[in-house]
Amino acid sequence: MNTKKILIILMILIILITGIILIEATLEQSPRNYYTYTKAICDEKNFCQDYLITCENKTVKSFIPITGASVQFPENWKDTRENKSEILCE
């Protein structure tokens, strides 16, 4: 084999190895799951407050009450929402 062919083969191998290393490094990083949403949360006295909730990787990052977004319902009021789960970041 002449020197030119050996150099070409070595360059191809270096490129392949570098590509494989970069792909593995990318796959090992977990994706960042970041989002915000609002949710009305009611207490036992039927006082409900809206909150801005920020989640990252299933962890609450912030939980901020929204000013002016609250309501006091009567004692006999029932929360009819289907999803009243207290798990904030799923």
Whether residues 68 and 38 share a domain: the answer is: yes
C-alpha dihedral sign at 56, 62, 68, 71: positive
Q: What pLDDT is recorded for position 75?
A: 86
Whether residues 21 and 48 share a domain: the answer is: no
What's the rounded Cα separation, in Å, for the pair 90 and 70? 24
- Say if 40 falls within a structural domain: yes
Q: Which domain holds residue 46?
A: 34-72
39-57: average pLDDT:
89
57-67: average pLDDT:
89
Task: Show the 3-state SS of 8-61.
Answer: HHHHHHHHHHHHHHHHHHHHHCCCCCEEEEEEEEECCCCEEEEEEEEEECCEEE
23-31: average pLDDT:
67
Domain count for the chain: 2
Q: What pLDDT is recorded for position 25?
A: 72
Is 36's pLDDT higher than 60? yes
Is 67's pLDDT higher than 90? no
Is 11's pLDDT higher than 80? yes
